[in-house]
Structure 1
Amino acid sequence: MEFIHIPVLIDEALEYLCIKKGEIIFDCTVGEGGHGIEFLKRIGSEGYLVGIDLDSSVLKKAEERLSTVSTNFKLFRGNFKDISNIIIEIGLGKVDKVFADLGMSSFQLSEGDFGFSFKEDGPLDMRMDKYVKLTAEDVINKFSEKEIASILWEYGEERFSKLIAKKIVEIRKVRKINTTFELADIIVRIYPVHHRKIHPATKTFQALRIYVNDELNNLKLMLDKAPEILKIGGRIAVISYHSLEDRIIKNAFKSDQRLRVINKKVVKPGPVELKANRRARSAKMRVAELV
């Protein structure tokens, strides 16, 4: 089955980034090219799009989709923490706009082999970059109870982190925990009934993914480096999906004297988008301009 990633806050991104014809756009999370297609339409034949992603399999999908609109783009496999080095390597100079959508692609969530979703059975992997050695399975089966609890609390804000960690260690003494369904089932069985507004495994899976991919540190590095590649008056827009990310972005934009915050109030999806795309419900976008 073919899954198409619906770009979140696309109209708002185009509006707040003020993308114009002939501009150079750096898409830090090109994914399947959902936002990139609209960027290409706006910049026209004289503009250029650079896109990076950690997952080479989605880059192939992005190339196919973007090619239907324009050939004025270049895609690379890479981590957005290296944004300034990538620009130097390709000899592009400074860019007009930087964009990042920190959400998972529909393809990654729907493919069980990635191990990102508790709704799809697959190995406990969770690596966006397959060159990284550490997997979620390593964390679950090898880390101490205290370490697991700390990860779930720090990166998932999971209030029952100690309870979950204790049960994980108890189960793994009997058998190894190998799959997403196995881990989700363990959590569901012990999670207090009165605290199930969202799926009980949601925060645990979030925490493991963030930890395995070192997402928050990479985000901080990208936010620090992005102003270096922007032209004066250039803008950066970042879409986040949970409070940990949003807090980092908010503080980075506010404290960086090179930047002027464009939207003091965070941009969220409207009712029409929320009805069409449930995955947009927790999205928040912040925008800043290089002064």
Structure 2
Amino acid sequence: MNITHRPVLLAEAVTALVSGPLITSPAASKNLLLIDGTFGRGGHTQALLARLPANARMISFDKDLDAIAVAEKIKDSRLRIVHDSFAQMDQYAGLESVDGILLDLGISSPQVDEAHRGFSFRKDGPLDMRMNTDLGLTAAEWLEQASQEDITHVIKTYGEERFAFQIAKAIVAKREEGLSPKTTLQLAGLVAGVVRTREVGQDPATRTFQALRIYINRELEDLELGLKAALNLLKPGARLAVISFHSLEDRIVKQFLQSHAKVEVPRGLPVRDRDLPQSALEIIGRVKPSDEEVRENPRARSAIMRVAEKRTGVSA
């Protein structure tokens, strides 16, 4: 299959999952089940399938109908494709016990590169930004009805944009003129007219587009739900690997893993180590792309993968 999307941290993610004790142990179940939370264009899914035995199973989720169409072309009886968010993975029958989960966050290259999806501030197209085009408001529709306060909040919170108020004010002013942005270049041009300074090499619209995409697709809410679902589904000894691409995502992942990797004891309480309840997770490590990968794929430069393993003897 021709995969236009170049998966980030491909070898590292596959190694992190298949080197876990459940998969490497001779006594491990031969009926392995792994989940790829975001199929994308199938790079991670197919690499994992290549390392799994013939009787293993893989379930890949994706909200994007274009990704589902690509996934359905894979001829491998071990693979099941689900058109849904990974946030809902614990709602599916037969997923009560999983041997490994990969969550590759953010968006795929085709989503950015295909102008009609509305994710790119460099290519003109309808201002859509929905990953699942069957559901919800487009970015243009939301901007047409949201208050200036709400627009400011979204751009500041999800884009960490210091000019959020000025951008929101400009959007509302255009709307009042009957010129609410309907295309990507209209919005990018509007933002560029407000944001006069920006980091070297970064387009003025970068943070605004990120913020709208995250908000329209409920990405951070889905991430929080997905992490909780993963913890419930993983068998003791199974691993979770999460690849994030910006600080908002990584902060949620880091805090979640840390909160389940330590046991909080009230200060001053006299307890011995053997009396403490066992934490649910053990943090295995944190991985960033190599210099070589970043040179070959600049979109990998901000990626961070965090890996944790569910402790044995711990139930969900």
Superposition TM-score, scaled by structure 2 size: 0.85
Q: Specify which of 241, 245, 250 is matched with residue 249 of structure 2.
A: 245
Deviation at 1:207, TM superposition (A): 0.4
Q: Which amino acid aligns with 1:254?
A: Q
Q: 2:27 matched to which residue of 1?
A: none
> Counterparts of 1:16-35 in structure 2 under 5 Å?
16-19=16-19, 20=23, 22=30, 23-35=32-44
User: Which residue of structure 1 aligns with residue 264 of structure 2?
Assistant: none
Structure 2: distance between partners of 1:218 and 1:288:
19
CA contact (8 A) 2:36 2:61 kept: yes
The equivalent of 1:272 in structure 2 is: 292
Q: Could you tell which deviates more after superposition, 74-83 or 169-178?
A: 169-178
- Asked if 1:206 is matched to 2:228, the reply is no
Contact conserved, 2:167 with 2:194, CA < 8 A, in 1? Answer: yes
SS at match of 1:46: coil
Is the Cα contact below 8 Å between 1:33 and 1:63 reproduced in 2? no
User: How do residues 165-184 of structure 1 correspond to structure 2 at under 5 angstroms?
Assistant: 165-174=168-177, 175-184=179-188
- Higher Rg: 2
Counterpart of 1:262 in structure 2 is 284
Deviation at residue 71 of structure 1 after TM alignment: 2.8
Aligned AA for 2:298? R
Over aligned residue pairs, what C-alpha RMSD do you find? 1.6
**Counterpart selection for 2:85 from 79, 82, 88:** 79
Cα deviation digits, residues 117-164 of structure 1 (max 9, x gap): 112211111111223222211222221111111110111100111111
Distance 1:170 1:25, change over 3 A: same
Q: Which runs of 5+ in 1 are unaligned?
A: none
Q: Which residue of 1 aligns with 2:135?
A: 132
Amino acid across the alignment from 1:267: V
SS in 1 for 2:101: strand
Q: What's the offset of the Cα at 1:111?
A: 1.4
For residue 3 of structure 1, report the CA deviation from its aligned partner: 6.2
Q: How far did 1:262 drift?
A: 0.9
CA distance in 1: counterparts of 2:113 and 2:139, whole angstroms:
18
Cα distance in 1 for partners of 2:249, 2:17 equals 20
> Structure 2 CA distance, aligned partners of 1:245 and 1:253?
13
Q: Does 1:61 align with 2:81?
A: no
Identify which range, 138-147 or 4-13, moves more after superposition. Answer: 138-147
What is the match of residue 228 of structure 1?
232
Aligned twin of 2:275: none
Deviations 1:71-114 (A, max 9, x none): 3111010111111112x2xx254111000110211221111221
2:154 to 144, 151, 172: 151
For the 8 Å contact 1:3–1:106, the answer to whether it is kept is no
Structure 2: how far apart are the matches of 1:195 and 1:53? 33
1:186 aligned residue: 190
Question: Are the counterparts in 2 of residues 25 and 97 from structure 1 also a CA contact under 8 Å?
Answer: yes
Structure with more helix by fraction: 1
Q: Report what 1:113 is aligned to.
A: 116
Aligned to 2:268: none
**SS class of match (1:190):** coil
Q: Conserved in 1, the CA contact under 8 Å of 2:3 and 2:42?
A: no
- What are the ranges of 5 or more consecutive residues in structure 2 without an aligned counterpart? 25-29, 261-278, 312-316
C-alpha contact (below 8 Å) 1:3/1:107 kept by paired residues: no
CA-CA distance at 1:195 after TM superposition: 4.5
Letter in 1 for 2:140: E
CA contact (8 A) 2:284 2:307 kept: yes
**What is the percent sequence identity of the aligned residues?**
41
C-alpha displacement of 1:44: 2.8
Counterpart position of 1:10: 10
1:215 pairs with 213, 219, 236, which one? Answer: 219
Please give the TM-score of this superposition, normalised by the length of structure 1.
0.92
Task: Indicate if the aligned counterparts of 1:139 and 1:148 stay in contact, CA closer than 8 A.
Answer: no
Q: How far did residue 202 of structure 1 move?
A: 0.6
